[in-house]
Chains A and B, each alone.
Chain A
Amino acid sequence: MSKADIEKKFIETIKENERVIYKVCLFYASDEFPLNDLYQEVVLNLWAAFPKFKNQSSFSTWIYRIALNTCISGMRREMRRPKGSGFSSELQNSLIEPEDMGEEIKEMYHLIHNLKTMERAVILLYLEEKSYQEIADITGLTVSNVATKLKRSKDKLRNSLN
């Protein structure tokens, strides 16, 4: 397969899964890590990993795993990409910030930001209706650990909601 074909296939794949990438980035975006910077970093990491994808897991699992790893590691260390570089302004216009969404979504966004990074990942996958096994496959946690974290996250959210 030529480089142009790989690039075309990659862009098609991203377009098919753009909602997944967007939702993961939305979960982790903050003032410190703007949505468009996270989105760029995730796309770049997916692009770097794309030739190595071996169909050992489903495409969506693979995308979730890379997107979550990028966002979580981005929060643990300073993003390699300097802020404001690349194509931030064009991306910024394309991505809808949570602040520009409905009140309910805005409220949910603020609630989720009270959770720790890994709890956020587990809740995100729970909202995406993934099974415990799928959450474990994506996050690299054990199934029992997923159950514990999910319960703890739900309790935290419930307390915040009340």
Chain B
Amino acid sequence: MEIDELKKIWVSLDQQIGKQNIVKENILKEVILAKSDKALSRLLNFDIFGLVLTIAVIPFLLFVLSQDVLKPEILRILLWFFIAYMIIDLVPMIWRMVLLSKVDFSKDVAGNIKNIQRYNVFIRVEKTITFVVIMPILIFYLVFPVFSMNLELWRAGALIGACLVTILFAYWQYKRVYDKNISSMLKSLEELRDLKEE
């Protein structure tokens, strides 16, 4: 066999595959919808990061409490509240991750939609608790010393800055990380379901 013969074989291969439709349109559509995989891994990574951060922060907060530096007493009580909330929140955090890990795009679409919707419920509940309960307490916690103690300007500025950063981060995480990726996944999965029903 010579190189020219390879060319002939190549032409015959071309003709052979030219006679049939290689990939059906619906399969192509499914492949491009599989980009949901990326949204899923983004959510999973963000949740893992949140879990690790929470586990790391709890001992630090316990250490702060043990130092007996928090005056007045309301700050100590609020810190206990935060620690308790963080510990309790570990359970839904882990459960959420379990739900995400159950999502498998090569399997049943309806099951995946159900898991993502359940995950979404967890996120919505957490979002409500965060903005209605946790955020106001945290803001109070950070701003309280500004008014109650005679702080230097830079300290007061730093505390107010920390408040703003916390609010912006919370907003960003729900809007840009959770809402965006969850809706992208749900949209793709619903399109997939429609495609399968066609």
Point out residues on A near B: beta carbons under 8 Å. 7, 10-11, 14-15, 18-19, 22-23, 39-40, 43-44, 47-48, 81, 84-91, 94-96, 101-102, 104-105, 107-108, 111, 127-128, 154, 157-158, 161
Is B28's CB within 8 Å of the partner chain A? yes
Q: Are A90 and B30 touching (Cβ within 8 A)?
A: yes
Q: Are B13 and A23 touching (Cβ within 8 A)?
A: yes
Is B89's CB within 8 Å of the partner chain A? no
Is B74's CB within 8 Å of the partner chain A? no
Q: Are A87 and B6 touching (Cβ within 8 A)?
A: no
Q: Are A161 and B1 touching (Cβ within 8 A)?
A: yes
Residue among B12, B32, B34, B35 making CB contact with A105, cutoff 8 Å: B12
Can you show 17 pairs from A to B with CB atoms below 8 A apart? A14-B23, A15-B28, A19-B18, A23-B17, A47-B32, A47-B35, A85-B105, A85-B106, A86-B30, A86-B31, A86-B34, A87-B30, A102-B12, A102-B16, A105-B13, A154-B3, A158-B2
Given contacts A11-B29, A47-B32, A158-B3, contact A104 B9 (CB under 8 A): yes
Q: Are B6 and A94 touching (Cβ within 8 A)?
A: no
Bound Cα distance A39, B2 (Å) = 29
Q: Are B28 and A14 touching (Cβ within 8 A)?
A: yes
Which size class do B's interface residues fall under?
20 to 34
Q: How far is the CB of A162 from chain B (nearest CB, A)?
A: 9
Which 9 A-B residue pairs are closest in the complex by CB-CB distance? Answer: A127-B10, A47-B32, A86-B34, A18-B22, A161-B1, A87-B30, A43-B31, A104-B9, A94-B23
Residue among A15, A23, A44, A154 making CB contact with B31, cutoff 8 Å: A44
Given contacts A23-B13, A90-B27, A94-B23, contact A44 B32 (CB under 8 A): yes
Beta-carbon nearest neighbor of B27 in chain A: A90
Residue among B7, B17, B34, B106 making CB contact with A127, cutoff 8 Å: B7
Q: B159-174 interface mask toward A, CB cutoff 8 Å, 1 = contact, 0 = none? A: 0000000000000000
Q: Are A86 and B29 touching (Cβ within 8 A)?
A: no
Task: Return chain B residues, CB-CB under 8 Å to A84.
Answer: 106
Q: Are A101 and B13 touching (Cβ within 8 A)?
A: yes
Beta-carbon nearest neighbor of B191 in chain A: A7
Beta-carbon nearest neighbor of B7 in chain A: A127
Q: Are B106 and A86 touching (Cβ within 8 A)?
A: yes
Task: Return chain B residues, CB-CB under 8 Å to A101.
Answer: 13, 16
Q: How far is the CB of B39 from chain A (nearest CB, A)?
A: 13
The listed residue with most A CB atoms (<10 A of its CB), out of B6, B14, B16, B18, is: B6
For residues 5 through 59 of chain B, which have their beta carbon under 8 Å from a beta carbon of chain A?
A: 6-7, 9-10, 12-14, 16-18, 21-25, 27-32, 34-35, 37
Bound Cα distance A5, B21 (Å) = 22
Task: Return chain B residues, CB-CB under 8 Å to A111.
Answer: 6
Task: Return chain A residues, CB-CB under 8 Å to B24.
Answer: 94
Bound Cα distance A85, B105 (Å) = 7
Q: B97-123 interface mask toward A, CB cutoff 8 Å, 1 = contact, 0 = none? A: 000000011100000000000000000
Bound Cα distance A85, B31 (Å) = 11
Beta-carbon nearest neighbor of A154 in chain B: B3
Q: How far is the CB of B134 from chain A (nearest CB, A)?
A: 36
